[in-house]
Amino acid sequence: MGKKVLIGMSGGVDSSVSAILLQKQGYEVIGATMRLWEENENSDSKKIIANNDCKETLENSENKQNNAVKDAKKVCEKLGIKHYVIDLREEFQKRVVDNFICTYLCAKTPNPCVECNKFMKFDAFYKFAKELGCEYIATGHYAKSFYSDKFKQYVLAKADAIEKDQSYFLYGINKEIIPYIIFPLAEFKDKSEIRKIAEENGLEVAKKKDSQEICFIQNNDYISFLKQYSNIEKFSDENLLAGTNNVKNSSYNYNDKENNKAENNKGKTTKGEGNIVLNNGEIVGKHTGLINYTIGQRKGLGVSYKEPLYVLKLNKDKNEVIVGTEKELYTDELMANELNFLIDIDSLKNVSMLQNKEQNIEQQEIEIEAKIRYRSKPAKATLKIENDIAKLKFSEPQRAITPGQSVVFYLNNIVLGGGKII
């Protein structure tokens, strides 16, 4: 029997085919599905880890999560491998959902998939794999992990299917586990190849549609979600100081900088009406609450002006939506915090990425490519780190750089790291 690998089974075709490929490569494959979120779930539910005998725990609900569990279980039965269900709902609420809510309430745009990968799929899941005695974990992500002779370490890189590459969402994971991650779909270039393998192996999920939405938001309606789960009608920065007590089941903590900002701006909210203004302060309309707007938005502003206007910035302190022309959406600089690097600084020195090997990285600029959102094209930029803040200067101005979103740094196709845009 080969080395043991725990594969994350979502009930979709990608993870199902990944399990098949691992079997063919000689691994002892075990499947596991993470139970992360359920509508109207019982808040008193206890954390459980169940194996193939988990039928009784699934019969009480018919939501998408349970359908995913059932589909994954069927695939595992078809392949003759064990299947586990890991209940991570409490952790998911804390790490992903609360973060999502609080980021929006701070007039920023969150990226829940980054948080989910960091804390759920490549942390909690990895720990469970170790409990089972597995040496590796695997997922159906389109990405690569391999040992780089150039950097003299294991690296995370883009998949061969560049248009489906998901490495952008993975920059936040712990670099120490990269040697123990397998991405079976790394070298596939077309989704039709994946579906063909599923059909050839008689899997019912062969024609199952890909999931495009945030898993815990129905119909992509995040506004309704925020109103339902954040108690947003009563939210204010005064509550923020108290640890976001108005966010249901919230355990998300703000740092001192955010708390000080809240202290100076008590009573201001993201839900109340306010002014829509130009950069010069001229009032051109009224908005219906900051959570209803995103950077780059044009439609739905309800503003009549001599030329098309776009959302440039959300000013929570003044409860203002700042708008301007499309040209004003472009900027060639950004800053990011909450940084995570997957390449060791010593490795950068070894390949002469740093001009002066004797200087600290915080004293130098690195030539990189950066993506400011998942669907954006990589753009050439210089990166400089100062006091744990990344400062990027792009060769060409970028459109609609959005606070709260992730910026990811690449060295060719290899992920250097990334951070949250501020």
Residue linked to tokens 């991650």: 181
Query: How far apart, in whole angstroms, are the C-alpha atoms of residue 31 and residue 391?
Result: 41
Q: How many CB atoms lie within 10 A of CB 319?
A: 20
Residues forming a β-bridge with 340:
418
Distance from the Cα of residue 415 to its chain's centroid: 15
Whether residue 116 lies in the annotated active site: yes
Query: How far apart, in whole angstroms, are the C-alpha atoms of residue 229 and residue 212?
Result: 22
Query: How far apart, in whole angstroms, are the C-alpha atoms of residue 167 and residue 46?
Result: 33
384 Cβ contact partners less than 8 Å away, ≥ 6 residues apart = 362, 364, 365, 366, 390, 391, 393
Query: How far apart, in whole angstroms, are the C-alpha atoms of residue 178 and residue 99?
Result: 25
As given in the structure block, the two tokens for residue 389 are: 């803040």
Query: How far apart, in whole angstroms, are the C-alpha atoms of residue 260 and residue 216?
Result: 31
Query: How far apart, in whole angstroms, are the C-alpha atoms of residue 398 and residue 331?
Result: 5
Task: Specify whether the backbone of 393 is left (phi greater than 0), alpha (psi in -120 to 50) or beta.
Answer: beta
Give SS3 for 286. Answer: strand
Indicate which residue of 102, 113, 116, 134 is catalytic.
116
**What one-letter code names the amino acid at 83?**
H
Whether residue 102 lies in the annotated active site: no
Q: Kindly report each contact of residues 211-219 with a partner whose C-beta sits within 8 Å and lies 24 or more positions away, as own/partner.
A: 211/10, 211/12, 214/112, 214/113, 215/36, 215/37, 215/64, 215/65, 216/36, 216/37, 216/92, 216/96, 216/97, 216/112, 218/39
Residues acting as catalytic residues:
116, 215
